[in-house]
Structure 1
Amino acid sequence: MPEFPNTQSEDQQLLDKLRPSRIVLPVLIGLGVVAFMFWRSYRPGDLAPLANAKPWWLLVTVAILLARDAGYVYRIRYLTEKALSWRASLDVIMLWEFSSCILPSAVGGTAVAPVLLHKEGIPLGKSVAYIMATAMLDNMYYVLMVPLVVVIGGETLYPHEALQGGLITALRIGFVVSYVFVTAYALLMVYAIFINPSAVKRLLVRLFSVRMLRRFRGRAYKLGNELVLASAQLRGNGAAYWLRAALSTAFVWTARYLVIGCLIGAFIDVGWTEFWLIFGRNLTYKVILLIAITPGGAGVAEGAFPTFFGKFIGTATMTNFMVLLYRIVTYYLYLVLGAVFLPRWITRIYGKRKAQELMHS
């Protein structure tokens, strides 16, 4: 793949994807949905559990959020073989999270992340390889964790108390289909990176040469080239490299899925059985977020939350409060942090004068 030309127009395209004004739409959608939910079900007495907040659980929640972000910073620094400093790693993760919040869920921050690494001085080929490695590891975590939670939770992973008949069947089918798709994609990436990238490239090109899929052939060809490039960059790394990457991936995703249970436990008495069931339901909740077309799943995440977790919280009003709190610490917080980190990063990468030109062009 050719190097990414350092032209003002392409720099402007990056900044256009990250411009702070993109915050407005997801905030309006998300808060609008929560406001409607409160308006529909608000009862003052239902918020009584707030007076019994458990400081210990709140501290645990904060610790998990900090540990998760620290884990992401650690992972990107060591995946890039320490080409990034700790400060650069923090900037990249904050902007990656920010882009995930302001771009549609299907796109996420993956579209921006290779360019962020490239602007930090890593060749674009290596940048793409490192981001593909993170995607492979993230998918493998999901592939390995789903059978575990299904064995433990079984049918309780589905919100039978909130969905009936055709809806629960549709969710079950969606969960299975998404798992099969993620598994196939993850195994394809593993085979391409570690075994035979050229064969996978040929397979993709042939598959997308079929009449119905022909319009996607260009993207398939590009993905094939990226897999070949990623294999060349990553195949020589030793077992210690991949063990460290895998453990840090397991750490950050486990922390990510623990947040909801910790927040609920801070206000509602939750047993360990229920706590781990909440953890497992995160995996079925994710199916809804995967198909969301709004920036960062705004509106969809808020609307679906009571269906999956309302059972553990109690009243609709208290559930709506938990929705708002959960989105504040896992979504709106990163919108704010992104808006803070972005100008600093632009100034550090481009210099003050050029940063001003880019921001005002």
Structure 2
Amino acid sequence: MKIQEQDILRKLSPKRTFIPLLIGLLSTVVIFYWTYEPSQWQYFWQASLPALLGAIAALLVRDGGYTARIRYLSQKELGWRGSLYSILLWEFASAVTPSVVGGTAVAIFILNREGIRFGKALAYVLLTAVLDNAFFIFAAPLAIWFSQGEVFVGSFNKTMQWTFWFSYLLIALYTFFMAFGLLARPRVVKWLLLKITAFRWLKRWRKAAYDTGNDLIIASREIKGKPVAYWLQAAGFTLFIWTARYVTLNFLMETFIDLSLQDHLLVFGRQIVLWISMLISPTPGSTGTAEYFFTELYSEFLGSFSGTVGVLWRLLTYYPYLLLGILILPVWLRRTQQKLKTVE
């Protein structure tokens, strides 16, 4: 994988925050226009401060978990400060680029500039993606089973189900493919990629397939031979992180309404469906898309107030990373100037 520093820095440019901020502002105006009712103010008067603090704490715990996991995966080659910077900039990159584009190159650049060799940086980024996707692959069927299919709602049911299962299948296949290449037989995966792209209508991707195969071989060398404890702890971190990520919304909704245990499980489960909609969104950071799907999925609990809570949820979990990215990027670039190694 050839990483051009100028290309990456353009992706991380604070100027790129203009588009998601504009889309976010427009979607907020539209949501308030269609859902606002004067009676909604009662939700604010009866809001629970402890639940709101719980949402903020869950968010901080999630970021702490991300920081600890990347430090652990790097076998402490990254310090705590470098791990935190890496995670915040990683989140910033995700916030200013569409999820469908992917941020692998940006993440590798961040770790490489922190002093991690290219091969190791690539291995850690791919391993992180495999772990996160594995959580989704196992959690999604459980959420559907526990909710008896109620994670899909209303007139939205059929469309969302088809979208969900199609995306689930693609993610499962991709994750199996990458895990097999990363942890078992990278050369077999490279051979398959080259065979697939040998067809005339796929030849335009043959060079990319060749590079991807080589990257897998390099990354696989870096993480082979790790003990079972390494994988168990990595899986534990992943479960902890995603639980904290989803529980943030449970706390936020509990701030305004009382939820039963069954309600909490359903709120938690529907975030898996919401995550799919965000994953395939063409907008930077899923701006606009996330708010719309949130309203569709949670109006059952919040009525017309769901639009407002959706905006508050994004104010808590998305927009702070835009601001943090703008603030820490120049500091981080100066700090890592001496650490930067030549990308091989």
Amino acid in the other structure paired with 2:183: F
Shift in Å at residue 208 of structure 1? 2.1
Across the two proteins, how many residue pairs are aligned to each other?
338
In structure 1, the residue matched to 2:146 is 152
3-state SS, counterpart of residue 294 of structure 1: coil
1:17-71 deviations in Å (ceiling 9; x for gaps): 1111111110110121111111223222222111111122112111101100000
Shift in Å at residue 212 of structure 1? 2.9
Residue 327 of structure 2 is aligned with which of 322, 336, 340? 340
In structure 2, the residue matched to 1:220 is 209
The answer to whether the Cα contact below 8 Å between 1:34 and 1:323 also exists between their aligned partners in 2 is no
Shift in Å at residue 107 of structure 1? 2.4
The answer to whether the Cα contact below 8 Å between 2:54 and 2:248 also exists between their aligned partners in 1 is no
Residues 1:136 and 2:130 are matched in the alignment: yes
Residue 325 of structure 1 is aligned with which of 298, 312, 320? 312
How far apart in 2 are the matches of 1:34 and 1:244? 40
3-state SS, counterpart of residue 157 of structure 1: coil
Residues 1:101 and 2:95 are matched in the alignment: yes
The answer to whether the Cα contact below 8 Å between 1:80 and 1:130 also exists between their aligned partners in 2 is yes
Amino acid in the other structure paired with 1:184: L
Residue 303 of structure 1 is aligned with which of 284, 292, 295? 292
In structure 1, the residue matched to 2:10 is 16
Shift in Å at residue 244 of structure 1? 1.4
3-state SS, counterpart of residue 309 of structure 1: helix
Matches within 5 A, 1:261-280: 261-280=250-269
Residues 1:190 and 2:187 are matched in the alignment: no
Q: TM-score, normalised on structure 2? A: 0.94
Amino acid in the other structure paired with 2:111: L
Residues 1:231 and 2:229 are matched in the alignment: no
**Closer/same/farther in 2, CA of residues 329 and 108 from structure 1, 3 Å limit:** farther
Residues 1:67 and 2:61 are matched in the alignment: yes
The answer to whether the Cα contact below 8 Å between 1:108 and 1:296 also exists between their aligned partners in 2 is no
3-state SS, counterpart of residue 144 of structure 2: helix
Residues 1:253 and 2:242 are matched in the alignment: yes
Matches within 5 A, 1:77-96: 77-96=71-90
1:136-174 deviations in Å (ceiling 9; x for gaps): 1111111111121121112201012xx2xxx53222111
How many percent of aligned residue pairs carry the same amino acid? 39
User: Structure 1 runs of 4+ off > 4 angstroms?
Assistant: none
Shift in Å at residue 220 of structure 1? 1.8
Shift in Å at residue 340 of structure 1? 1.3
Amino acid in the other structure paired with 1:49: Y
3-state SS, counterpart of residue 104 of structure 1: coil
In structure 2, the residue matched to 1:118 is 112
Shift in Å at residue 194 of structure 1? 2.3
Shift in Å at residue 193 of structure 1? 2.1
In structure 2, the residue matched to 1:38 is 32
How far apart in 1 are the matches of 2:179 and 2:5? 32
The answer to whether the Cα contact below 8 Å between 1:97 and 1:109 also exists between their aligned partners in 2 is no
In structure 2, the residue matched to 1:25 is 19
Shift in Å at residue 215 of structure 1? 1.9
What 5-or-longer segments of structure 2 have no aligned partner? 339-344
Q: TM-score, normalised on structure 1? A: 0.90
How far apart in 1 are the matches of 2:63 and 2:256? 24
The answer to whether the Cα contact below 8 Å between 1:105 and 1:297 also exists between their aligned partners in 2 is yes
What 5-or-longer segments of structure 1 have no aligned partner? 5-9, 352-361
Residues 1:283 and 2:272 are matched in the alignment: yes
How far apart in 2 are the matches of 1:244 and 1:299? 36
In structure 2, the residue matched to 1:171 is 160
How far apart in 2 are the matches of 1:71 and 1:105? 21
How far apart in 2 are the matches of 1:282 and 1:49? 22
Shift in Å at residue 334 of structure 1? 0.7
How far apart in 2 are the matches of 1:124 and 1:43? 54
1:273-328 deviations in Å (ceiling 9; x for gaps): 011101101111122112211110111111221001111112x1x21210111001
